[in-house]
């Protein structure tokens, strides 16, 4: 073998002296440490025996009393352990257990918020890494507890969803674990995660593969109460989602959870978690699918049979809680016969009638649903004799009762009025329901809820369907006053304002109601509603206007106090509020004066009889100018003709006396009392009308041949028009020259102007009664023609020309077409007046009484357009 060849074995010539190495090495050190701060310094040691001894002593120290744990917290033990990552890499499992035990002990004595979110997140990150690496059962138990405590911070709970790797192991350990503490803390942690999620996030999280919903359902029958309560909380959250995509979408899982809930309750109905199980079962039955399984799989019968045996031994609060299950099931009417047959209705009634305690809201809700079944309704109505209605009234009017119970009580009364009106309404009126409503509404919005007020308004609406009851309610002026005041404070809630106006529409027929509303600023409330941003509110108030223009006091208030002004100024709202335009027309149809001022037109249905009719010689672009003239004590520059058939002498309160110091010397020269009247008397107009009726009677034209009110005598329209035109000419023909229609010469306008000036000086005002006008052209004659036509029932219009200087009248005279039944006069005479169309213009100046077809040459000549 050559020298370069490597040897397999080389003999040693020197050996180490082992004895010398032992003598020179560091010998074991035993030191007695009695100071906590010093012992904490040893946590930095890299020798596991040292760490084990130190952590063992610290654990014993922490177990002795809570004050010791607080001292460890003050020494920043938790921060120190987190910095060392809880000794994740320690080979000794005992070290890891002691470290986790100390962390849990400190967290047990730490309030939420004592550590900021950043520190909690740091601890949780270390725990996550520890959890993913650890397999020891005790360490997993401690880590699960730490995670559960850290999730008390909602921000931390929100971020845990992103740690997919941790969640996967978390679910696997939870599903397979037999450790009660691990199971409990896992369920609690899941509940905290679910609480911070939105509906969409929860749906996505719970439908992930491997979500341990079945394990949670199984824990409903666990031997440990704490685990059962934790499982109940999670299931209540999960079952609140009744969508088809929820974790309980499979039928087998729905049946499994229902079966477990019924089983858990039947095992021990008196258990501390019995109320929680009932609440979860009631939540489950909100789903129609769950309810169907509950009845079809005989779980309902199983529960009822179990209750029959133990009902008398159960505490009252448990009995009332059980009712919540049947209240949810009663939502589906097809199961009502089975529910009633099982005597569940009697359970509801007994629970309601217990006067010593306030019934839960679901008790009354269940009755509301049950009375849809006739037999259940009869059973509850029979309880009227025992004070069922008075019990409900006392509930909704009592301010110390929970608001939800009050809402349900009022809603039940409303439902009873729908299903059993006669007997319920009679009982309510005997119990003076109006006074109870006043007491309740007086409590104000701060004590009442929107739903409660809506139910109370619904009660009033239902009772107002009966005329006698509506009169009784209307006589209670305090109730109307409270509703009006409630309206003024409710504009933040559009649905409430809408329902208040709807309620007022049902009782507005009563005179006391109208008086109280006008006294309590209803007009101001309506103006505010018309300017609201809500279309619902604007629709409600315009509907109210449509209902109330039947009453003159409301029409006057709408015109005088600015409602009409708001409607006219904001007509752009008619594009989104369909009743805006009809509300305007409804007001104007009751006031021909304002309608003619605004529209410059009166149709066939616009009757001038019954109220004073004012027409100004001047055409106003802004109706508010004319309105101010009528409102204030002043005389207009242009003549205003007044039509009045009902007042032959002026009323004393309408006459305004002018003090002598306000007159010029010329005016006061006659030494007479100056006075004027804006509502002048007219003793001549009734005389003219009587003469006209006599003329019509001589010609047999006073009544329609059919003697049917509002039917149209088309055959005699022309004859009647001519007689009226001649009567108008006889009244206003003084000093008026009759010209040929073909002439270009103007009529005697100057004569008419001088005549009106004379009347103004005589009456001391420009408000001139039409009966005093003896010289008139088209303008004055058209007004008188319209008024006479309205008095005898002749369809007639009054229209102002574009320049405003001329008025003219139109009448309907259909041109009959052969073999067309739609143009047959026998058919047309029964046509409503609003559907008529003007066809002819009446000549009042040239060929007196002649009718010219519209757009004909004569018609255009009469209007001086040709």
Q: In this model, does residue 347 exceed pLDDT 60? A: yes
Q: What is the rounded CA–CA span in Å between residue 660 and residue 648?
A: 27
| More confident: 117 or 375 | 375
10 inside domain: no
Residue-wise pLDDT for 84-113, tens only, equals 877 787 888 888 888 888 888 888 877 755
Query: Cβ atoms within 10 A of the Cβ of 692, count?
Result: 22
Q: What is the mean pLDDT of residues 149-171?
A: 81
Q: What is the rounded CA–CA span in Å between residue 436 and residue 460?
A: 12
- pLDDT bucket at 18, cuts 50 / 70 / 90: low
Q: Are 840 and 720 spatial neighbours (Cβ–Cβ below 8 Å)? A: no
Question: Ramachandran region of residue 432, left (φ > 0), alpha (ψ -120 to 50) or beta?
Answer: left
Query: Cβ atoms within 10 A of the Cβ of 78, count?
Result: 19
Vertex 13: Cα angle to 11 and 17 (nearest 5): 120
Residue-wise pLDDT for 478-537, tens only, equals 999 999 999 999 988 999 999 999 999 999 999 999 999 999 889 999 999 999 999 999
348 inside domain: no
Q: Report the pLDDT value the prediction gives residue 389, as an integer from 0 to 100.
A: 94
What residues form DSSP beta bridges with 103?
none
Q: What is the rounded CA–CA span in Å between residue 361 and residue 449?
A: 14
Q: What is the rounded CA–CA span in Å between residue 779 and residue 736?
A: 13
Q: Which residues make Cβ contacts (< 8 Å) with residue 337, sequence separation at least 6?
A: 373, 375
For the chain, the distance separating the N- and C-terminal CA atoms, rounded to the nearest angstrom, is 147
Q: Report the pLDDT value the prediction gives residue 669, as an integer from 0 to 100.
A: 46
Q: What is the rounded CA–CA span in Å between residue 513 and residue 777?
A: 47
CA dihedral 639, 789, 645, 749 (to 10 degrees): 20
Q: Report the pLDDT value the prediction gives residue 66, as an integer from 0 to 100.
A: 81
pLDDT over 70, % of the chain: 89
Instruction: Please tell me the least confidently modeled range out of 526-535, 540-549, 668-677.
Output: 668-677
Number of domains in the chain: 2
DSSP run (H or E) holding 655: strand 655-657
Q: Report the pLDDT value the prediction gives residue 114, as an integer from 0 to 100.
A: 65
What does the DSSP assignment read for 561-616? TTHHHHHHHTGGGGGT-TTHHHHHHHHHHT-HHHHHHHHSEE-TT---TTS-EEEE
Q: What is the rounded CA–CA span in Å between residue 194 and residue 199?
A: 9
Q: Report the pLDDT value the prediction gives residue 1, as an integer from 0 to 100.
A: 43
Residue-wise pLDDT for 191-214, tens only, equals 888 888 888 888 888 888 888 999
Q: What is the rounded CA–CA span in Å between residue 595 and residue 812?
A: 21
Q: What is the rounded CA–CA span in Å between residue 714 and residue 196?
A: 79
What does the DSSP assignment read for 272-285? TTHHHHHHHHHHHT
Single residue among 61, 81, 110 that ends a domain in this structure: 110
- pLDDT bucket at 58, cuts 50 / 70 / 90: confident
Q: What is the rounded CA–CA span in Å between residue 159 and residue 167?
A: 12
Strands 807-811 and 601-602: unpaired
Residue 98: CATH number of its domain:
1.25.10.10
Both tokens of 35, joined, read 């100071």
54 inside domain: yes
Q: Are 615 and 578 spatial neighbours (Cβ–Cβ below 8 Å)? A: no
Q: What is the rounded CA–CA span in Å between residue 198 and residue 373?
A: 38
Single residue among 77, 95, 110 that ends a domain in this structure: 110
| More confident: 633 or 651 | 651
| More confident: 303 or 108 | 303
Q: What is the rounded CA–CA span in Å between residue 197 and residue 208?
A: 15
Average pLDDT, the chain: 85
Q: Report the pLDDT value the prediction gives residue 151, as an integer from 0 to 100.
A: 82
Closest CA to 351 of 311, 329, 323: 323
Q: b or e along 192-226 (b: 16 or more beta carbons within 10 Å of the residue's beta carbon)?
A: bbbebbeeeebeebbeeeebbbebbbebbebeeee
Both tokens of 773, joined, read 């006008």
- pLDDT bucket at 707, cuts 50 / 70 / 90: very low
146 inside domain: no
Residue-wise pLDDT for 262-288, tens only, equals 998 888 888 888 888 989 998 888 888
854 inside domain: yes
The phi and psi torsions of 668 (rounded to 5 degrees) equal -95, 5
123-130 long-range contacts, CB within 8 A, separation 24+: 123/78, 123/82, 123/150, 124/150, 124/156, 124/160, 126/82, 126/85, 126/86, 126/88, 127/86, 128/163, 128/166, 129/85, 129/88, 130/85, 130/86, 130/88, 130/96, 130/100
Strands 640-643 and 767-769: parallel
Both tokens of 799, joined, read 């229209």
Helix 251-267 vs helix 225-239: angle between axes, to the nearest 10 degrees? 140
Query: Cβ atoms within 10 A of the Cβ of 771, count?
Result: 24
790 inside domain: yes
148 inside domain: no
539 inside domain: no
Question: Ramachandran region of residue 713, left (φ > 0), alpha (ψ -120 to 50) or beta?
Answer: beta
Q: In this model, does residue 51 exceed pLDDT 60? A: yes
List alpha helices for 151-268, DSSP H.
154-159, 164-176, 180-195, 199-206, 213-218, 225-239, 251-267
Q: Report the pLDDT value the prediction gives residue 666, as an integer from 0 to 100.
A: 46
Single residue among 89, 110, 131 that ends a domain in this structure: 110
Closest CA to 535 of 495, 584, 502: 495
- Domain around 676: 640-863
Would you call 478 helix, strand, or coil by DSSP? helix
Q: In this model, does residue 5 exceed pLDDT 70? A: no
Q: Report the pLDDT value the prediction gives residue 706, as an integer from 0 to 100.
A: 45
């Amino acid at each position: 073998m050559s020298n370069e060849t490597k040897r397999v074995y080389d003999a040693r010539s020197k050996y180490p002296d082992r004895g010398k190495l032992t003598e020179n090495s560091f010998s074991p050190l035993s030191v007695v440490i009695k100071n906590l701060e010093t012992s904490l310094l040893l946590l930095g040691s890299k020798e596991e025996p040292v760490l084990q001894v130190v952590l063992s002593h610290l654990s014993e120290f922490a177990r002795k009393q809570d004050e010791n744990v607080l001292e460890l917290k003050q020494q920043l033990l938790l921060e120190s352990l987190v910095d060392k990552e809880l000794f994740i890499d320690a080979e000794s499992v005992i070290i890891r257990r002691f470290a986790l035990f100390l962390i849990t002990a400190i967290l047990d004595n730490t309030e939420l918020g004592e550590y900021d979110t950043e520190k909690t997140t740091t601890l949780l990150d270390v725990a996550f890494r520890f959890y993913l690496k650890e397999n020891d059962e005790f360490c997993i138990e401690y880590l699960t507890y730490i995670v559960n405590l850290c999730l008390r911070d909602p921000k931390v709970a929100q971020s845990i969803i992103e740690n997919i790797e941790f969640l996967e192991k978390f679910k696997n350990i939870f599903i397979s674990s037999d450790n009660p503490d691990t199971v409990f803390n896992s369920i609690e942690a899941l509940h905290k995660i679910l609480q911070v999620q939105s509906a969409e996030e929860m749906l996505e999280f719970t439908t992930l593969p491997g979500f341990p919903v079945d394990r949670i359902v199984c824990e409903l029958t666990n031997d440990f109460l704490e685990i059962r309560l934790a499982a109940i909380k999670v299931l209540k959250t999960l079952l609140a989602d009744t969508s088809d995509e929820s974790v309980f979408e499979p039928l087998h899982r729905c049946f499994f959870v229902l079966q477990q809930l019924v089983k858990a309750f039947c095992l021990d109905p008196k258990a501390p978690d019995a109320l929680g199980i009932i609440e979860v079962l009631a939540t489950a039955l909100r789903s129609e699918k769950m309810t169907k399984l509950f009845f079809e799989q005989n779980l309902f019968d199983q529960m009822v049979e179990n209750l029959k045996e133990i009902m008398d031994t159960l505490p009252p609060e448990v009995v009332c809680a059980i009712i919540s299950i049947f209240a949810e099931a009663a939502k589906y009417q097809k199961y009502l016969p089975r529910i009633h047959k099982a005597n569940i209705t009697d359970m509801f009634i007994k629970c309601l009638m217990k006067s010593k305690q306030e019934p839960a809201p679901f008790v009354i809700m269940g009755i509301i649903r049950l009375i849809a079944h006739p037999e259940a309704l009869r059973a509850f109505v029979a309880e009227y004799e025992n004070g069922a209605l008075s019990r409900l009234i006392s509930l909704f009017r009592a301010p110390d009762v929970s608001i939800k119970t009050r809402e349900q009580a009022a809603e039940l009364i409303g439902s009873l009025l729908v299903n059993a009106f006669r007997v319920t309404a009679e009982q309510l009126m005997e119990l003076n329901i109006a006074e109870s409503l006043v007491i309740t509404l007086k409590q104000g919005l701060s004590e009442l809820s929107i739903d409660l007020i809506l139910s109370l308004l619904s009660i009033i609406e239902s009772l107002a369907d009966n005329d006698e009851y509506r009169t009784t309610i209307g006589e209670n002026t305090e109730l109307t006053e409270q509703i009006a005041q409630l309206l003024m404070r409710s504009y933040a809630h559009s649905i409430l304002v809408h329902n208040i106006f709807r309620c007022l529409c049902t009782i507005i027929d009563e005179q006391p109601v109208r008086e109280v509303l006008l006294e309590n600023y209803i007009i101001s409330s309506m103006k505010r509603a018309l300017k609201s941003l809500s279309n619902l509110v604007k629709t409600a108030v315009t509907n109210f206007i449509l209902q109330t223009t039947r009453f003159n006091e409301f029409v006057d208030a709408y015109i005088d106090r600015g409602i009409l002004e708001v409607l006219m100024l904001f007509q752009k709202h008619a594009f989104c509020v369909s009743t805006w335009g009809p509300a305007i027309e409804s007001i104007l149809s009751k006031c021909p004066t304002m309608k003619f001022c605004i529209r410059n037109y009166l149709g066939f249905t616009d009757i001038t009889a019954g109220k004073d009719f004012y027409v100004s010689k001047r055409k106003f672009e802004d109706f508010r100018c004319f309105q101010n003239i009528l409102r204030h004590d002043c005389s207009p520059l242009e003549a205003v003709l007044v039509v009045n058939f009902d007042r032959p002498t002026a009323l004393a309160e309408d006459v305004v006396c002018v003090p002598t110091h306000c007159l010029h010397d010329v005016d006061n020269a006659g030494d007479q009392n100056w006075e004027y009247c804006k509502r002048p008397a007219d003793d001549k107009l009734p005389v003219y009308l009587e003469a006209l009726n006599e003329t019509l009677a001589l010609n047999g034209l006073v009544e329609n041949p059919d003697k049917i009110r509002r039917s149209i005598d088309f055959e005699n329209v022309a004859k009647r028009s001519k007689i009226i035109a001649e009567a108008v000419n006889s009244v206003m023909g003084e000093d008026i020259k009759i010209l040929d229609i073909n002439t270009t010469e103007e009529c005697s306008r100057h004569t008419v102007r001088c005549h009106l000036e004379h009347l103004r000086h005589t009456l001391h005002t420009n408000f001139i009664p039409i009966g005093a006008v003896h010289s008139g052209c088209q303008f004055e004659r058209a007004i008188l023609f319209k008024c006479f036509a309205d008095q005898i029932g002749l369809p007639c219009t009054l229209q102002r020309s574009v320049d405003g200087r001329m008025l003219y009248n139109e009448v309907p005279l259909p041109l009959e077409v052969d073999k067309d039944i739609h143009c047959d006069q026998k058919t047309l005479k029964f046509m409503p007046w609003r559907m008529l169309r003007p066809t002819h213009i009446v000549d009042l100046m040239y060929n007196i009484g002649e009718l010219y077809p519209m757009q004909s040459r004569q018609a255009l000549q009469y209007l001086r357009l040709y």
